[in-house]
Structure 1
Amino acid sequence: MMTKDPAPLKPAATVLLVRDCKKQSDSLEVFMVVRHHQIDFASGALVFPGGKVDRGDSHPDLVRHLPKDQPADDPLLSFKVASIREAFEECNVLLAREIGSSSLIGPDRLETLVDQYRKDMQAGAIDILTMAKAENLELATDTLAHYSHWLTPTFMPKRFDTHFFVAIAPPEQLAVHDGEESVDSVWIGPNEAREGAQDGKYTIIFPTLMNLEHLGRFGSAEEALHQSDTSKTVSVLPKLEVTPEGKFLNIPAEAGYSVTRRPIDPIMDKK
């Protein structure tokens, strides 16, 4: 019997927007959205904003709209640009500044940009370079720290090569879900979210749970950013294990999560 080749990996990016908070179980919180039920992957799940890397996210002219210390040959550059674009499209946050300015754009300018560009960008009619050129913007890739790297298991019909980034949410910008791909949103502590998954309040898939667990170890948003920026990222490709007791996902111990073996999520058991 011939073994079916795994589906090809599609590049994707996800962003964890974090801010400090004072809660019983958490000292920081992260912005999360609820995926629309008609989305074909993780529908109805509580996730971090993100999506596939578009062709425009690697346009060579973007180099003119990046911080001076951003290497043009950075292998993660298109993923960083995609995470900035997805944050703009999905949650009304734009990690960008006027060229020559040291401050991220404010709420009034953001509102104008959202009204003028977001729907066309979501529809794929324009790319983020179009907005950056027209509005003299620098995409603030320097605000992003590489957080984790997950690859969809080989048995899944759709597979993604996803790089996660963490950024401190601009305090003057109001994060809200887009009402299209995402139908709800919440600022939530990582431990609070995991507790909600345990008691059935939220649907959260395995990679998101593991990244929430890791986020819960930090004492502040600044610590999460700094530690992510200075720590080595281990790529995680969960492996399927089938036993008489059921199906399990195994991940490498060197990734640093608390578990290396977990019963498979029903949402991922779709062949």
Structure 2
Amino acid sequence: METRDLDPQELQARTVRAATLVIYRRNPAGGAAQILLVERNATLNFAGGATVFPGGKVDPADRDLAATLGGEIEVTAARIAGVRETLEETGLVVGVSGPIDGGVAADARRMLLLHGKLAPVLDAFGWTLNLDQLVQFARWWPRHRAERIFDTRFFLADLGTGAVDIEVDATENRHMFWASANEALELAAAGRIRVIFPTRRNLERLALFDTFEAARDHALAFGAETISPFIAERDGKPWLMIPDGRGYPVLGEPLSTAQRT
């Protein structure tokens, strides 16, 4: 893969907008809060077999719904996509207000899978969006030459007690589990899960905090400036790096070990 940056017009043409949610729950056994992680099916073109946070592409219907709410459409649409994709992939309802229990969530998921749009689900179940529950944590948008480039916004969400059921969407994912950020990094170091470069850097950042509240406050303090990885030489070898000053404790790794897809 070439590492030369794309010109702005070509970058826009190849960019796919996406959203992902870092969903917290309190650890039932005590200790650091846990994060929901999903292992993607190995057959998928992007990040096949990798362990990631729930999420996916922003659909036109997400933008249509965002346009009715006002504000910055792309950010709102990304939040909506995160809510929709999480319900599709995991059965969890986040970012909405209204009557919700396990049975209602399961019914809503079935309806969403049938229609593919969140708006009719909101209407059918009497829900309203509460997108302030999703705190923007980061935005990753590579500039290098590739067939598809994902402009991904990361949001934090909190489930509180975490007394919830999750069910894998077998079309895209094959396994879901809860773990603290540090536990996920330990699994990766032991070779039990595979994480791509952005996921690893974000897990390292999340591992600085034991609670959702601490991670949220950190995110609000730093904002969500765009992260665009770049190649730099260190000790005579190429490294894949991210800019300093964005809240990340580790800024890169050798290009030879960095897993990009």
State TM-score, norm by structure 1: 0.82
Q: How does 1:206-217 map to 2 (within 5 A)?
A: 206-217=197-208
Correspondence for 1:119 among 113, 123, 137: 113
- SS of 2:193's partner is coil
Distance 1:74 1:61 in 2: 6
* Residue ranges of structure 2 left out of the alignment (5+ in a row): none
Partner residue in 2 for 1:47: 52
Percent identical residues: 26
Does structure 1 conserve the Cα–Cα contact (< 8 Å) formed by 2:66 and 2:73? Answer: no
Q: How does 1:60-71 map to 2 (within 5 A)?
A: 60=65, 63=68, 71=70
* TM-aligned CA deviation for residue 22 of structure 1: 6.8
CA RMSD, Structure 1 to Structure 2 (Å): 2.6
Partner residue in 1 for 2:100: 105
Distance 2:237 2:210 in 1: 37
How has the CA–CA distance of structure 1 residues 246 and 120 changed in structure 2, closer, same or farther, with 3 Å as cutoff?
farther
Greater shift, 243-252 or 146-155, is seen at 243-252
Does structure 2 conserve the Cα–Cα contact (< 8 Å) formed by 1:14 and 1:162? Answer: yes
* Residue ranges of structure 1 left out of the alignment (5+ in a row): 99-103
- SS of 2:245's partner is helix
Correspondence for 2:22 among 10, 16, 32: 16
State TM-score, norm by structure 2: 0.85
Q: Indicate yes or no: 2:260 matched with 1:268.
A: yes
Partner residue in 2 for 1:149: 139
Q: Indicate yes or no: 2:35 matched with 1:30.
A: yes
* TM-aligned CA deviation for residue 246 of structure 1: 4.5
Distance 1:261 1:108 in 2: 44
Greater shift, 235-244 or 28-37, is seen at 235-244
Partner residue in 2 for 1:101: none
Q: How many residues are matched? A: 250
Distance 2:16 2:125 in 1: 30
How has the CA–CA distance of structure 1 residues 156 and 198 changed in structure 2, closer, same or farther, with 3 Å as cutoff?
farther
Does structure 2 conserve the Cα–Cα contact (< 8 Å) formed by 1:9 and 1:159? Answer: yes
* TM-aligned CA deviation for residue 74 of structure 1: 5.4
Does structure 2 conserve the Cα–Cα contact (< 8 Å) formed by 1:35 and 1:47? Answer: yes
Distance 1:60 1:85 in 2: 12
* TM-aligned CA deviation for residue 247 of structure 1: 3.5
* TM-aligned CA deviation for residue 175 of structure 1: 2.5
Correspondence for 1:258 among 238, 249, 254: 249
- SS of 1:166's partner is strand
Partner residue in 1 for 2:78: 79
Distance 2:15 2:66 in 1: 26
How has the CA–CA distance of structure 1 residues 109 and 236 changed in structure 2, closer, same or farther, with 3 Å as cutoff?
same
- SS of 2:152's partner is strand
Q: How does 1:129-144 map to 2 (within 5 A)?
A: 129-144=119-134
Distance 1:248 1:27 in 2: 31
Distance 1:193 1:32 in 2: 9
Does structure 2 conserve the Cα–Cα contact (< 8 Å) formed by 1:33 and 1:182? Answer: yes
